[in-house]
């Protein structure tokens, strides 16, 4: 047996990046420190009590009293799949609103789970009005309607109130993707009337990737309980997860204490700051960025009225090698921003100010660096 040469595998020494892309965002030192705490078994009473508190804090950030509120052991994509896998039964008519990459992903997942998927589409960067959803449901009723709150691929913020009302009037289940919005802008699950809402740990909650918060209201739970057969997905089966996170504490999988310590500490930081203050911080730092971009003659892709505070898409100026600029930002200044995704590839940069990344010093640094490189 040939053993690897240890000298080919040095200790990790990752550069300290300023993470201003679409996520992961930077992680507060207290959150990193929390992960170094001793590992607990997944059924240890000390861990169960941390789980309870995580669920309570998630209810706060989701603004919900939903009992079934928990983090799945996976990233935001796993949380998306949790929503789809548990709600979509084979043959269910599903309406997905697609105005960016992640709407498209929901549609793909829904098809995989046997949904009879119809999409309505909008150009990337625009958002849907309630009348479009109403018309689509009038043309073809759907049991499930899915929409993305903050499209990370376009930078647009989708208003939800009226759409939620339309879906409810029509008796549908509304799934909202709040991966990028949760903790950065208001996500009022109960007030708005969202049936299923999910997110990720690595955006505005400021934790490492690996935990996917999700919450289900009573109508969604009814649908779950009335399923004709268990869903295909076992790892993300909410009926099993609910038994582990709920009173029964029935073993399902080995939840990671380390990731949950991180999530707990990240949520404590949200409470310390206060949700409203956190939303206001994301706005004020975004405005600082937008004013600075204007001075550099850089034009956001999305009009300010529907622009995300935590993710700004910026049009690439004529004649600029967008890849080179990103490489230089990383190489010279340790700053990560992202290129466009899908339709917007090569057309925009994506600048994220999420969670602990959303700080004035990061905005000033990025603007100064862009000025150097574009000047």
Contacts to its own copies from residues 217-256, by CB under 8 A? 230-236, 251-256
In the complex with its own copies, the residue whose CB is nearer, 280 or 294, is 280
Query: Least distance (Å) from its own copies to the CB of residue 118?
Result: 19
Binding residue (CB under 8 A) for its own copies from 55, 66, 69, 75:
75
Residue 198 sits in the site that holds its own copies (CB under 8 A): no
Q: Are 21 and 352 a contacting pair, CB within 8 Å? A: yes
For residue 42, state whether it binds its own copies (rule: CB under 8 A).
yes
Q: Which is nearer to its own copies, 22 or 172 (CB)?
A: 22
Out of 51, 68, 70, 78, name the contact with its own copies by CB under 8 A: 78
When binding is defined by CB under 8 A, the residue of 71, 103, 115, 210 that contacts its own copies is 210
Can you give the three-state secondary structure of the chain, one letter per residue?
A: CCCCCHHHCCCCCCCCCEECCCCCCCCCHHHHHHHCCCCCCCCCHHHHHHHHHHHHHHHHHHCCCCCCEEEECCCHHHHHHHHHHHHCCCCCEEEEEECCHHHHHHHHHHHHCCCEEEEEECCECECCCHHHHHHHHHHCCCCEEEEECEECCCCEECCCHHHHHHHHHCCCEEEEECCCCECCECCCHHHHCCCEEECCCCCCCCCCCCCEEEEECHHHHHHHHCCCCCCCCCCCCHHHHHHHHCCCCCCCCCCCHHHHHHHHHHHHHHHHHCHHHHHHHHHHHHHHHHHHHHHCCCCECCCHHHECCCEEEEECCCCCCHHHHHHHHHHHHCEECEECCHHHCCCEEEEECCHHHCCHHHHHHHHHHHHHHHC
- Residue from 51, 71, 81, 194 binding its own copies (CB under 8 A): 81
Residue whose CB is less far from its own copies, 125 or 210: 210
- In the complex with its own copies, which residue's Cβ is closer, 317 or 346? 346
* 312 is a contact residue toward its own copies (CB under 8 A): no
Q: Does 50 bind its own copies (CB under 8 A)?
A: yes
Judged by CB, which is closer to its own copies: 37, or 368? 37
User: Does position 109 bind its own copies by CB under 8 A?
Assistant: yes
Give the nearest distance from C-beta 245 to its own copies in angstroms.
15
Residues near its own copies (CB under 8 A), total = 90
Q: Binding of its own copies at residue 4 (CB under 8 A)?
A: yes
Kindly indicate which of the ranges 46-54, 137-145, 285-293, 366-374 contains the residues binding its own copies, using the contact rule CB under 8 A.
46-54
- Residue 180 interacts with its own copies (CB under 8 A)? no
| By CB under 8 A, residue 67 contacts its own copies | no
**In 18-57, which positions are buried (b, 16+ CB within 10 angstroms) versus exposed (e)?**
bbbbbbbbbbbeebeebbeeeebebeeeebeebbeebbeb
Binding mask 272-311 for its own copies (x = CB under 8 A): x-xxx-----------------------------------
- Taking the C-alpha atoms of residue 353 and residue 40, their distance in angstroms, rounded to an integer, is 33
Least spacing, CB of residue 147 vs its own copies, in Å: 18
Q: Does 103 bind its own copies (CB under 8 A)?
A: no
Give Cβ neighbours of residue 33 (< 8 Å, ≥ 6 apart). Answer: 265
**Contacting its own copies within 317-356 (CB under 8 A):** 330, 336, 338, 341
Q: Between residues 195 and 265, which has the closer beta carbon with respect to its own copies? A: 265
Q: Kindly indicate which of the ranges 7-15, 133-141, 166-174, 314-322 contains the residues binding its own copies, using the contact rule CB under 8 A.
A: 7-15
Of 24 and 309, nearer to its own copies (C-beta) is 24
Min dist CB 300 to its own copies, Å, is: 22
């Amino acid at each position: 047996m040939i053993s690897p040469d240890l000298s080919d595998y040095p200790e990790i020494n990752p550069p300290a990046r300023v993470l201003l892309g679409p996520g992961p965002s930077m992680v507060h030192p207290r959150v990193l420190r929390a992960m170094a705490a001793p590992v607990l078994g997944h059924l240890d009473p000390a861990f169960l009590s941390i789980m309870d508190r995580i669920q309570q804090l998630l209810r706060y950030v989701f603004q919900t009293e939903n009992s079934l509120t928990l983090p799945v052991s996976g990233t935001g994509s796993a949380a998306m799949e949790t929503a789809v896998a548990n709600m979509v039964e084979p043959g269910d008519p599903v309406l997905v609103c697609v105005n960016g990459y992640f709407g498209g992903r929901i549609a793909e997942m829904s098809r995989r789970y046997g949904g009879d998927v119809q999409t309505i589409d909008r150009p990337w960067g625009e958002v849907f009005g309630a009348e479009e959803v109403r018309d689509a449901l009038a043309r073809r009723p759907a049991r499930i309607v899915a929409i993305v709150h903050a499209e990370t691929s376009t930078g647009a913020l989708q208003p939800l109130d009226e759409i939620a009302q339309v879906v409810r009037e029509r008796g549908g289940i509304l799934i909202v993707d709040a991966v990028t919005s949760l903790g950065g802008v208001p996500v009022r699950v109960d007030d708005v009337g969202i049936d299923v809402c999910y997110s990720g740990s690595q955006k505005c909650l400021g934790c490492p990737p690996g935990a996917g918060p999700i919450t289900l209201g009573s109508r969604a739970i009814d649908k779950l309980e009335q399923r004709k057969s268990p869903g295909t997905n076992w790892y993300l089966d909410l009926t099993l997860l609910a038994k582990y996170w709920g009173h029964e504490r029935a073993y399902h999988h080995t939840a990671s204490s380390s990731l949950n310590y991180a999530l707990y500490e990240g949520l404590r930081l949200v409470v310390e700051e206060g949700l409203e203050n956190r939303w206001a911080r994301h706005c004020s730092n975004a405005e600082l960025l937008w004013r600075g971009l204007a001075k550099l003659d850089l034009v956001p892709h999305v009009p300010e009225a529907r622009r995300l505070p935590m993710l700004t898409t910026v049009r690439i100026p004529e004649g600029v090698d967008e890849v080179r600029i990103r490489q230089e930002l990383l190489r010279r200044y340790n700053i990560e921003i992202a290129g466009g995704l899908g339709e917007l590839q090569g057309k925009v940069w994506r600048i994220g100010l999420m969670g602990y990344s959303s700080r004035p010093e990061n905005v000033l640094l990025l603007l100064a660096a862009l000025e150097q490189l574009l000047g």
